[in-house]
Chain A
Amino acid sequence: MSQVLHEIEKKIITSLKNNEKQTPENLEKSTNLSPDQIRRGIEWLKLKGLAIVTESQAISLSLGKNGLESFHKGLPERRLLDLLKNESKKLQDLQKDLGNVFGPAMGLARKNNWVDASEEKIFLKNYPSELPGEKTLKQIGENKISKNEIDADDLSFILKRPDFIIENVIKTKEISLTDIAKSIEITAGLSGEINVESKVPDVFVARTHPLKDTIDEIREIFVTLGFTEIIGSMTQPSFWNFDALFTPQDHPARELQDTFYLDGISAKKIGTSEQIKKISESHKKGWRYNWDINEARKMVLRTHTTCVTIKHLAENKPDEARVFSLGRVFRNEKVSYKHLVEFNQIEGIVVGKNATLRDLMGIQQEFYRRIGITKIKFWPTFFPYTEPSLQTMVYNDRLEKWVELFGMGIFRPEVTKPLGITKPVLAWGGGIERIAMLKYGLDDVREFYNNNLSWLRSTTKCQ
């Protein structure tokens, strides 16, 4: 029987061969190992099927306050009998001598017919050599004694008396060897050898969140493609989220059922008076309705990061720029395996006199290539604030179908002109979770926000 055993295991087995059943405490003494070493050694042996651990419960007894007093001075009834041994005594004198134990002592003595009373005195009738319970008291004394060792009849006399006996439950473990272990020859020479093939426990690696990893990866790709990151607020006036992007105020996308409006909150300052004037004119001309500034003041949770971009463009009016922003966006949807109310979006723009739709497609293609997606195609689509507009379709090998990824286009003149932006603006964006789902092979987008530790601890970091 070849077994590779640790030095600790060898010591425990050797000791158990000599003395078949031992408690861990016994083993500590017999092997000279520390409690921790014994604990580990027993666990190892148990896992290998070499040791059997039987757990049992025992009750030990010790004396309480009254028990101890009786142990030293004698039981109250014994003290009463001793007082009466030579002469009968007045009740009052006995009371004085015995104090508060007089009552119970007298009660017991009369009940057992040890004493009797005449008109004025108490006298002894009988003097037993051993009173019930005296044996138990002597046996326990100041120690802890297993309940098994005490005569149950005698114990029963005083077990119920207050503060005489304390019962303690003690759990004990006994270790013994299995038949296989008993047959193991312990040799001294192999002490350095361990079972290098056996399984070892996992250690959980602390990590950044997989979705965060994807976000960071995307940020880095944009930076290396020459883009600078801008950030902005998640709460926005409707003005920047919708009006500046030429979304009419009665557009279905602006309704409560799609967009989160903040209850009773509207912004005092939404833009410069010039911006407000030009944008309202653009709406009146393009959409033929009466533009209402109060509608533009309503605060919403941004439905896209484009509001951050357009504000940046309106403030800086660059002739040449590569800018991106990423962050949380919100949609008032029913949460499902493919919809979240809050998710992350990446959005980038290129501003340049010679920026073309083909450049926009080229940047997309390069971006996808860098995140490992090579099978893509572009389809026309519709977005309210870009013209022309495209969407990217990427091939998902696992699902064996084309899935929609980013939307893109060139900002409409109705968007750029009122804000004084004169050069073409290529824009694109999309949900980061979609990319991360492809990356981690997930079919349920909620997984990213469940913070399920078993998933977080097991998902491969580098994909």
Chain B
Amino acid sequence: MPVVELSYSRLQKLIGKVSKKQISDLLPFLGLDIESEDKDLIRIEYSPNRPDYSTDLGIALGLQGLLGIKTGIFKLIIKKSNNYVIHADPSVSKIRPFVTGIIAKNGNVDDNLIKQLMAMQEDLHFGLGRKRKKSSIGIHDLDKIIFPLTYTTTNRDHRFIPLNSKSELTISEILSSTDVGKEYGTILGNSIKIPLILDSKKQTVSFPPIINAAVTAVTPKTKNLFVEVTGINKEDAEDMLSVVATILQTAGFTLYSTKILGAKNTSPKLESRKILINSNLINQTLGLDLSNSQIISSLKKSRLDATLKGKNIICSVPAYRFDIFGPMDLVEEVSLGYGIQNLIPILSPSQTLGQPNSISVKLKSLSLIMVGLGYTEALNSSLTSKRVLYEITNREPRNIISVLDSKSQEHTILRDSILPGLLENLSKNIHTAYPQKLFETGTVFSYGNPINETTNLAGISAHQDATFTEIKSILQSALKIGFNLEIETKTLSHPIFEEGRTASISINGKTIGMIGEINSKTIENYKIRVPVVGFEISLSGLIFE
């Protein structure tokens, strides 16, 4: 989950009459986790579905609601204007078809606001924008741009001075030499045409979704802003724009509309939606008996609007709350406005009888039998490495099931056997007193429709006098007392075991595993200094299906 850094004093300024303690007590009830605190600074984690919480301005809106200082919808006021036109050229349709935007004037741009806007932009890019692929934002100094603008395409040798650069670069150079170019260039694929926003003087404003032009950079001297969003889906682009617009209006800017024309683009409306909800659903879901007016007041505390119409409540949801899909999301908004801390848990009597799974029951019995025989239970990962599974044990790798892009070298393939892991355990305990006797039950994996998962039992005994006879008696006794099964052993060759001291294990003619003295080479590979004997059998199809 993303993290944002806030200051108590700024929050207090934004919210109005509120103590530091009230803020820290209430933040969790907005769904924000406090990660750390240091005097005035506070770091909080917010959910990716609420990008408005990536700024203190958005959080202040939420807290005002819960505190009852300001409730109801925070309505976007967008002044109509015909001065700001963006023409979309049909050539963008195949590469990044949608553009939208808004004008924000007369705000107070300071370092803090720039910092907050950049953090919000990053989070919107990552979450909603899916790493800028779906949609991306550019925020510009309006006064450096001469409207109308054109959203069009260009070639890779187009040149302009990108943000954070002093000299002109070509698109190709930006993609190959800047950090953002390298990171996001793949979004454009091999396309010859590159999206671009130009102003009426043919000055480059932005190269979406990669980088803005240096000339439009926002600084503390900026008074007026132009925000553009481009993307591959109109609704997503407008959702993103609505968050930025809301935050900018909160920050004191006056918003003006832009006119978007051409290539299936239309001007953004950023209007609130109406959703109908029934109080029964709310009360039934939450286990409460709230009156309509209580419900309406709770929704308002969650910064939504609601009015009663007959038996239903009509709820207005602002555009930036695109995390609200339908009535069930409004139930949650009611619960937040009502206060989770006010919901009293109840324990309803169970209408059902409980029962563990029969496989769990059998595995537990088997564990207790192995413990009774003096074996201690080990637990190893099912994701392991070629080194443990094959290299050390001299087993022949075949039909390896690998995972893609593991961050850990030790966890790259699914185990097809438990025994190697137990040997690895012994090798990590060579300085501990012997005898060492371990067992493990767990899942092993093999190919088949598409993957077979079977449960195996493996046991291992290491001490100066460990012998084949010892381990065979253990297995024989475990299966006899546990499940009244009689094992047979037949000579077998297997690289993990010593030649001539290895057997296959079968029950009623069906092979279920193998047993033997571990190969001295393997023991040496594991740096174990005592003889080791062990077995592994498949339990699936033996004691359960």
Contacts and interface: CB of A to CB of B under 8 A. Distances in A.
Given A330-B383, A332-B405, A456-B376, A412 B450 contact: no
A250 interface: yes
Contacts of A390: 340
A257 B48 CA distance: 17
Interface residues of A, number: 90
B406 A341 contact: yes
Contacts, number: 252
Given A207-B371, A342-B381, A451-B438, A381 B451 contact: no
B28 interface: yes
B141 interface: no
Nearest to B441: A212
A380 interface: yes
B382 A208 contact: no
B380 interface: yes
Interface residues of B, number: 91
A78 B107 CA distance: 124
A80 B83 CA distance: 133
Given A211-B379, A332-B405, A250 B360 contact: no
A211 B378 CA distance: 10
A361 to B, nearest CB: 4
Interface string A320-336: 11100000101011110
B351 A449 contact: no
B340 A328 contact: no
Interface string B338-359: 0011011111101111111101
B443 A365 contact: no
A231 interface: yes
Contact of A379 (B29, B235, B346, B410): B29
B379 A209 contact: yes
Contacts of B88: none
B374 A227 contact: no
A440 B277 CA distance: 47
Contacts of B287: 356-359
B445 interface: yes
Please indicate which of the listed interface residues A342, A361, A389, A453 has the most CB atoms of chain B within 10 Å of its own CB.
Answer: A453
Interface in B106-142: 126-127, 130-131, 133-134
Contact of A357 (B47, B285, B406): B285
Interface in A256-272: 256-257, 260-263, 265-268
Contacts of A451: 378-380, 425, 428-429, 438
Contact of B404 (A228, A231, A263): A263
Nearest to A230: B357
A260 B383 contact: yes
A352 B346 contact: no
Main secondary structure of the interface of B (DSSP, over half): loop
Contact of A234 (B235, B367, B382): B382
B345 A364 contact: yes
A267 to B, nearest CB: 5
Interface string B130-160: 1101100000000000000000000000000
Given A320-B351, A333-B407, A414 B325 contact: yes
Interface stretch (B13-21, B74-82, B212-220, B329-337): B329-337
A235 B445 contact: yes
Contact of A387 (B33, B328, B344, B379): B328
Contacts of B284: 354, 356, 424
B411 A219 contact: no
B167 interface: no
Given A342-B383, A357-B287, A365-B345, A229 B360 contact: yes
Given A228-B355, A341-B408, A260 B379 contact: no
Contacts of A393: 28
Contacts of B30: 380
A206 B405 CA distance: 38
Contact of A453 (B28, B359, B432): B432
Interface in A14-52: none
A162 B385 CA distance: 55
B378 A389 contact: no
Nearest to A209: B377
B425 A301 contact: no
A257 to B, nearest CB: 7
A377 interface: yes
Nearest to B436: A453
B354 A223 contact: yes
A235 B383 contact: no
A267 B448 CA distance: 10
Per CB-CB distance, the 7 closest pairs between chain A and chain B, nearest first, are A226-B350, A356-B287, A382-B47, A358-B287, A361-B345, A388-B332, A223-B354
Interface of A: 204, 206-209, 211-212, 216, 219-220, 222-231, 233-235, 250, 252, 256-257, 260-263, 265-268, 286, 288-289, 299, 301, 320-322, 328, 330, 332-335, 340-342, 352, 354, 356-359, 361-366, 377-382, 387-390, 393, 404, 410, 412-414, 424, 448-454, 456-457
14 contacts: A229-B356, A252-B130, A265-B450, A265-B451, A335-B410, A341-B406, A354-B348, A356-B287, A361-B345, A365-B347, A378-B340, A378-B345, A381-B47, A424-B285
Given A334-B408, A451-B438, 14 more contacts: A206-B370, A209-B377, A252-B130, A260-B404, A260-B406, A262-B404, A286-B325, A322-B351, A356-B346, A357-B335, A361-B346, A377-B341, A380-B332, A451-B379
